[in-house]
Structure 1
């Protein structure tokens, strides 16, 4: 999951940042990147705040996004920011060249 967030209400968004991680972990997800510096090497995309999440499956990512556990945090994020969120299907098991050692 790739997320570009423009924070509009920093105080509320700080509370969101405390609530979201436990719900992500509960669905087997983890952060790969969260709010670090970005550099556009090609194109015109100029993201504000990027988060990259990894889940075991696309289905688990969808379950998390629609979950009752995440709902309060999601409402808080939606109220305090504008977000572009993209669900990207990863490589099938065994297709990741980094896993072949």
Structure 2
């Protein structure tokens, strides 16, 4: 099942380190089948505060997403970004094809109290 690395990246200082990070990240993702779905785009905020932007990277599965994040190649370039730009990063599995939220609601309703 497809998994995603999602980053909420705060505004920060663009400098040579950050540019080297951006230039090098694709090569760290390639061995794990990672591909950008969202990168360098403006966000349209509809609810709550959201300083910064979002990055979404798809991987074939959660194991490869974890392997990429923990890989020596990615860990070597990560400080180039984190030293200058704050943010949060999560890894999460997607839902299967045919997912229907109403089934999840029914399951939750069955276990909820009155």
The TM-score normalised by the length of structure 1 is 0.82
User: 2:83 matched to 1:72?
Assistant: no
CA distance change for structure 1 residues 37 and 7 in 2, over 3 Å: closer, same or farther?
A: closer
CA distance change for structure 1 residues 57 and 47 in 2, over 3 Å: closer, same or farther?
A: farther
CA distance change for structure 1 residues 65 and 31 in 2, over 3 Å: closer, same or farther?
A: same
User: SS in structure 2 opposite 1:4?
Assistant: strand
Larger Rg: 2
Give the alignment's Cα RMSD to 1 decimal: 1.8
User: 2:74 matched to 1:58?
Assistant: no
Runs of at least 5 residues in structure 2 that lack an aligned partner in the other structure: 101-114
* 4+ long deviations beyond 4 Å: none
Equivalent residue in structure 2 for 1:4, among 5, 8, 33: 8
CA contact (8 A) 1:29 1:56 kept: yes
Residue 49 of structure 1 is matched in structure 2 by 53
Aligned pair count?
95
- Following superposition, the deviation at residue 10 of structure 1 comes to 1.0
Higher helix share: 2
- Following superposition, the deviation at residue 91 of structure 1 comes to 2.0
Distance 1:47 1:7 in 2: 7
User: SS in structure 1 opposite 2:66?
Assistant: helix
Runs of at least 5 residues in structure 1 that lack an aligned partner in the other structure: none
Equivalent residue in structure 2 for 1:17, among 19, 22, 35: 22
